[in-house]
Amino acid sequence: MHMKKWFPFGLALALLLLAQPVWSFDLTLLHVNDSHSYLDATSDKLKPGGESTYVKLGAWARLKTAVDAVRSEKKNVVLLHAGDVVQGDLYFMKYGGRPEMEFLDRLGFDAMTLGNHEFDKGPDFLADFLDYARVPVLGANVDAVGIPKLAARVKPYCIFSYGEEKVGVIGLTTGDTARISKSGPGVSFGDEAEAARKYVRELEAQGINKIVLLTHVGLDRDKELAAVVPGVDVIVGGHSHTLLGDAATMNTMGKTVEGPYPVVVKGADGNDVYVVTAWKWSRVLGHLDVIFDDEGHVIAARGKPIMLLADDFKRKNEAGDKIELTGAARKAVLKDIADNPMTEVVAESTESVAFLKPYNKGVEGMRQDVIGVATGPLPHIRVPGVTDSGVPLPHGSLMAPIVCQSMLDKVDSTGESVTIAFMNAGGVRVGLEQGNITVGSAYVLLPFNNTLHVLRITGRQIRVALEHGVTIGDGAFPCVAGARYTADMTRPEGSRVTRVDVLGRDGKWESLDAAKKYNMVVSAFLASGGDGYEVLKQVADRYDTGFGDVQAFIEYVKKRKDIAPPKSTGVTYIPAR
């Protein structure tokens, strides 16, 4: 046991420490989650000074600089990734996880937990691309006995030593992975809480009393785990893409947070548990400083998640063109960012830029091949509401109905008569800005390489599917083409879909007939019961067209050239009061 410096986390803590000195151990937790192969910076819009400003966020070369800076200042640092390292940007599609895994090692990640998207190409593929990294891979509730190579790589927990002090980190993966990804029959997922309790007891039996859960289960589930698993001090999570922080601080930048950083939950043993997560795409580096007392109890925890910005700021001029800021306007933005404790302009690591350069060259051709033009913005949201950028979408995504229409058109081109296209909102990953649409943006939009399946399905089954989707919400929320429906969320579960119409070949709308059979095109993911759509899995009369969803979208855009925002999304949504 050794004395650590005091951290002045507020007057109350200072008075406590002065009144009753304790031996203490301080630990700095750095973390990211849901980076989804976005190794380069991604575009977003902030509002420094109240003015909409286009910025670049994230990039692993920028993350490297930020991590190195903390390590130079702090002694006991652990760097964690809370899952979904891959699947999203083109790097994974072209290189199968190699640059992402190699970057984990180059940044010195101490552990990662498996996310559901790590399984998107199957467990054997996952086991192979994990070979590109030495980072410990955790999954306490993951049983990969049917895939020996994967089972050998995945451990329930790891232990980090800092002098005489030891910290245990237990990994957990969402139990929904078998439903929402392609884990296959050789892998199963146990209850997260049960697994956590088991391995907390095992660590405690080894005398380890400082325990972190590294989870990919979503913030709501993290809070549940905090309340029911005794012995846990901190939960570092992912999966829900949740931005945490000080609400007032982020409002000045035009962002809305979903809770404070950290979220504090009263634990099963009566001690506070500190829950953190770091948004998505390595746009934020989570940073939590924790002080433990001699018995392993947290006596202070204070965080400052940092949004990583490039030195690149644009605003629209009167003509609507994005122009680089200069002069007084640029200085004002830089001052607002510097004054905000959650934002920072960070330079990219030259070493990391050089490492990524060969990989970057490999995907640039894919990014730049123009296939059409979006004549207006095509924002995407899962459930009707307001986007992260503040764009109201009361009838849902403007992007997903276009994807659905491309599915209909592709099957129609074969001479097969298909009436409806049905898509889960989570199957569409991003929206598109106004301007050129490239092959690269198409693959980012639809990264899962699903084939299109045609189901011969009754109207009753379609209504059941819609009811399921609107009730589950989030990524399961149903998007359509060739149909329209009303979801009244004020009504009881099971009776929320109040009207469904189908567009006939004559161009006229008619009410869905419960007894009639319709040809409906869906992704392979939904056809296999993904997102809990068991009703679709049970449809016996079906076939796999063999056409890929992204290829269908590319052909659709190439054929039409100009893609306008749809006049209707097909969704009338009445939110719960």
pLDDT, tens digit (0-9, with 9 covering 90-100), for 85-138? 998 888 988 899 999 999 999 999 999 999 998 998 899 999 999 999 999 999
Do 253 and 391 belong to one domain? Answer: no
Mean pLDDT of 363-380: 92
Q: What is the pLDDT of residue 494?
A: 95
Do 302 and 375 belong to one domain? Answer: no
C-alpha pair distances (Å), 149 with each of 26, 109, 133, 134, 175? 37, 22, 14, 14, 21
Give the contacts of 317 (CB within 8 A, at least 6 positions apart).
323
How large is the angle between the packed helices 549-560 and 400-412, nearest 10 degrees?
90
| CB 113 within 8 Å of CB 82 | yes
Cβ-based burial of 495 (10 A; exposed 0-12, middle 13-18, buried ≥19): exposed
CA distance 568 to 546: 29
| CB 378 within 8 Å of CB 565 | yes
Q: What is the pLDDT of residue 577?
A: 83
Q: What is the pLDDT of residue 544?
A: 80
Q: What is the pLDDT of residue 19?
A: 45
CA distance 567 to 563: 12
Q: What is the pLDDT of residue 366?
A: 81
Decide which of 321 and 355 is more confident. Answer: 355
- Domain limits for position 516: 371-574
Do 108 and 219 belong to one domain? Answer: yes
Mean pLDDT of 174-197: 92
Share of the chain above pLDDT 70, in %: 96
Give the contacts of 336 (CB within 8 A, at least 6 positions apart).
48, 49, 252, 253
**Token couple for 251:** 């409002």
Residue 459 lies in a domain: yes
Residue 363 lies in a domain: no
* Extended beta strands in 325-390, E state: 343-345, 370-374, 385-386
Give the contacts of 384 (CB within 8 A, at least 6 positions apart).
393, 394, 395, 396, 571, 573, 575
Instruction: Please say whether the dihedral angle defined by the alpha carbons of residues 139, 143, 144 and 145, taken in this order, is positive or negative.
Output: positive
Confidence grade of residue 241 (pLDDT, cut at 50, 70, 90): confident
For the chain, the domain total comes to 2
Q: Which helix (H) or strand (E) holds 112?
A: strand 111-113
| CB 342 within 8 Å of CB 245 | yes
Mean pLDDT of 352-366: 92
| pLDDT beyond 80 at 362 | yes
* Extended beta strands in 217-271, E state: 234-237, 263-266
Phi, psi of 350 (to 5 degrees): -65, -35
Do 381 and 287 belong to one domain? Answer: no
| pLDDT beyond 80 at 211 | yes
C-alpha pair distances (Å), 407 with each of 422, 476, 485? 9, 18, 19
Do 299 and 383 belong to one domain? Answer: no
Of 259, 283, 306, which closes a domain?
A: 306
| pLDDT beyond 80 at 218 | yes
Mean pLDDT of 526-552: 90
Confidence grade of residue 17 (pLDDT, cut at 50, 70, 90): very low
What does the angle CA 575 – CA 527 – CA 572 come to, to the nearest 5 degrees?
A: 20
Q: What is the pLDDT of residue 20?
A: 40
DSSP string, 504-541: -TTS-EEEPPTTSEEEEEEEHHHHTTGGG-HHHHT--S
| pLDDT beyond 70 at 453 | yes
CA distance 281 to 43: 11
Do 386 and 284 belong to one domain? Answer: no
Of 280, 306, 332, which closes a domain?
A: 306
Tell me how far the alpha carbon of residue 469 is from its chain's centroid: 19
Confidence grade of residue 22 (pLDDT, cut at 50, 70, 90): low
What confidence tens digit (pLDDT) does each residue in 60-91 have?
999 999 999 999 999 999 999 999 999 888 89
Do 427 and 549 belong to one domain? Answer: yes
Q: What is the pLDDT of residue 13?
A: 45
CATH number at residue 121: 3.60.21.10
Phi, psi of 288 (to 5 degrees): -125, 120
User: Per DSSP, what are the bridge partners of residue 478?
Assistant: 424
Mean pLDDT of 37-52: 92
**Token couple for 163:** 């002098």
Q: What is the pLDDT of residue 16?
A: 44
Q: Which of 306, 370, 293 is nearest to 338 (CA)?
A: 306
Do 172 and 287 belong to one domain? Answer: yes
Of 264, 287, 306, which closes a domain?
A: 306
Cβ-based burial of 301 (10 A; exposed 0-12, middle 13-18, buried ≥19): buried
Judge if the upstream peptide bond of residue 394 is cis by omega within 30 degrees of 0: no
Q: Which of 282, 274, 267 is nearest to 82 (CA)?
A: 282
C-alpha pair distances (Å), 383 with each of 394, 425, 574? 9, 8, 11
What confidence tens digit (pLDDT) does each residue in 376-403 have?
999 999 999 998 888 999 999 999 999 9
Residue 333 lies in a domain: no
C-alpha pair distances (Å), 227 with each of 83, 173, 239, 244, 274? 22, 18, 19, 19, 11
Residues 312, 85, 170, 273: what is their CA dihedral angle, to the nearest 10 degrees? 40
Least confident among 374-378, 548-552, 571-575: 548-552
Q: What is the pLDDT of residue 146?
A: 96
Residue 565 lies in a domain: yes
Q: What is the pLDDT of residue 254?
A: 92
Decide which of 17 and 188 is more confident. Answer: 188
Q: What is the DSSP letter of 49?
A: G
CATH number at residue 379: 3.90.780.10
Residue 354 lies in a domain: no
Specify the amino acid at residue 103: F
Do 273 and 375 belong to one domain? Answer: no
| CB 82 within 8 Å of CB 237 | yes
| pLDDT beyond 80 at 449 | no
Residue 95 lies in a domain: yes
| CB 390 within 8 Å of CB 555 | no
Do 263 and 381 belong to one domain? Answer: no
Judge if the upstream peptide bond of residue 148 is cis by omega within 30 degrees of 0: no
| pLDDT beyond 60 at 291 | yes
| CB 283 within 8 Å of CB 308 | yes
Q: What is the mean pLDDT of the chain?
A: 93
Confidence grade of residue 3 (pLDDT, cut at 50, 70, 90): very low
Measure the N-to-C terminal CA separation of the chain; round to a whole number of Å: 54
Q: What is the pLDDT of residue 12?
A: 43
CA distance 63 to 485: 44
CA distance 532 to 411: 25
Neighbours of 71 (CB within 10 A): 14
Residue 496 lies in a domain: yes
Confidence grade of residue 23 (pLDDT, cut at 50, 70, 90): low
Do 262 and 386 belong to one domain? Answer: no
**Token couple for 293:** 């007392």
CA distance 560 to 300: 59
Do 424 and 521 belong to one domain? Answer: yes
Residue 543 lies in a domain: yes
